[in-house]
Amino acid sequence: MDLPSATGHNAGVSRSRLWLLPLLLVAIVGGAWYFDAQGKKGDRELDVYTLGGQRMAAGEEIYRRGSDGKPFTYPPFAAAPFVPFVQLPESWWSEAWFVVDFLILLGVVRFLHRYATSADTGRGPPRVWWFWIPTAVFGGRHVVSALTNQSNDLLILGAVTMVAVCWSSRRQVVSAWAGFWAGIGAAMKATPLLFVGLFGLRMHWLALAALFASTAVATLLPDLLWPRADGGSWWRAWYEVNLTGLEVGGTADAHGAWNAHSVLNQSLSGATRRLFTPVVSADNVFVVGEQGDVLLFELSAGMHKAVTLLLQVGVLAVISFGVLCAKRAVRAAGDAADAMQRRVALGEVAAIACGMVLLSPQSSKAHFCVWLFPVAFVVQQLLRGRRDALALALFVASFVLAMLSKGLLGRDAANLVLAFGNVAWATLLLLLATARCLQVAARDAAT
């Protein structure tokens, strides 16, 4: 009996998927139209990036405040992807950027789907629908914000996804690529530098070296390709304009760029600033009505900083605990160490992703598109790992806080909840659930 060849089988599979092409085309065209319309209703961030790219290509200053709307505040490499937009008609910018975001999102979904269906990432059979429903509803909640705001957050999401892909291998050479992608993310937004802790605790020195090297090269690259007309350097201008005023444990606060009491800031420092310090300015443009004034009780500047630092140290401790649990799980797995690394890698990356938004001086809702990682990891472990009541309770509590939105509560009540920092506290609970699942994985491996 003749058996079908592998080539014929692959061709059949390819033909069976051809129906996806018109579906993807409809999604791209419809999504580009919809999110372009949504972006025009407010101050879309794409205009900030494209203006930064235009000015960088011309050698003009990109770090300006108070002169022409929302300023460009990211590291210089973050403007580099938008330099090619100079060659496109302005009417195409929104659609072109949506295509970039859509392709990144497809890659993220493909990676998470492979994680959900892999035999190595759980003990029982895959439960794809049960995996994707909470992951899409909860984890993807702020992906919509990134698309609507036309921000660059999906670029960061894509870089972190590549870290997770490479980190799933125990081979030092492959994990070095995880360091490379973490460095690319750090060159666009400093918070991925937290991966230093992951690679250091796991003693992957090639990944650590790759992170520092790619961060440095990408940061200096704009000076080589598009030198400033005044002979200075882009990285120095970024540091002097945007970083010199920030303090450890402080909240982003700069006229024309960040408002310390903005309800949109859902980092730990932003939430504690609103809870423990009064609003001192009546013309706080980023405060929705009086919703930014949710003072519980007033702390002195020193006490507020101490409380914030204590919370931030706690976040770092939880991340470190999770990473060390993953390290212990891989060591205890013996011959199944490769499979265990593929299981816990996403959890380690998820813990760092939570830290990125919690420890940043400024984290708007679009930045929380990284929820995809902790939600996917926790859901997978609850479905296919050892059932744990504490992890489930933390996850459910995080989900309830996250769902307190305008659609459920109405605009004013939702803004009030936002002012109290519901997104920040939901992320903290999600981090705890992630660390708990890593701990359970380590116990599983040990027994």
Domain segments of the chain as ranges = 23-117+151-238, 263-278+289-447
* Distance from chain centroid for Cα 314: 20
Q: State pTM to two decimals.
A: 0.89
Rg (CA), the chain: 22
> In this structure, how many other beta carbons lie within 10 angstroms of the beta carbon of residue 355?
25
3-state secondary structure 184-197: HHHHHCCHHHHHHH
Cβ contact 399:283 at 8 Å: no
Residue whose tokens read 């500047």: 301
The pLDDT assigned to 173 comes to 82
Cβ contact 272:311 at 8 Å: yes
- Rounded (5°) CA angle 279-281-285: 100
The pLDDT assigned to 288 comes to 43
The pLDDT assigned to 39 comes to 63
* Distance from chain centroid for Cα 380: 19
254 forms beta bridges with 258
What's the rounded Cα separation, in Å, for the pair 80 and 192? 18
What's the rounded Cα separation, in Å, for the pair 355 and 25? 36
Cβ contact 204:163 at 8 Å: no
The pLDDT assigned to 1 comes to 41
pLDDT tens digit at each of 447 positions of the chain: 444 444 454 444 445 566 666 777 767 767 666 666 666 666 678 888 888 888 999 888 888 766 566 778 889 999 999 999 888 888 888 888 888 899 999 999 999 999 999 988 888 888 889 999 999 999 988 898 888 888 889 999 999 999 999 999 888 888 899 999 999 999 999 899 999 999 999 999 999 999 999 999 999 999 999 999 888 898 888 888 877 666 665 565 555 555 667 788 888 988 888 888 887 654 444 444 445 677 787 888 888 888 989 999 999 999 999 999 999 999 998 888 899 999 999 999 999 999 999 998 888 888 999 999 999 999 999 998 888 999 999 999 999 999 887 777 777 788 888 888 899 999 999 999 999 999 999 998 887
| Pick from 219, 270, 273, 276: nearest CA to 427 | 270
For the record, the structure tokens of 285 come out as: 């443009």
C-alpha atoms less than 13 angstroms from C-alpha of 195 in its C-beta half-sphere: 41
Q: At what angle do helices 172-188 and 205-225 cross, to 10 degrees?
A: 40
DSSP state of 12: H
The pLDDT assigned to 385 comes to 85
258 forms beta bridges with 254
Cβ contact 97:46 at 8 Å: yes
Burial 291-303, CB ≥16 within 10 A → b, else e:
bbebeeeebeeee
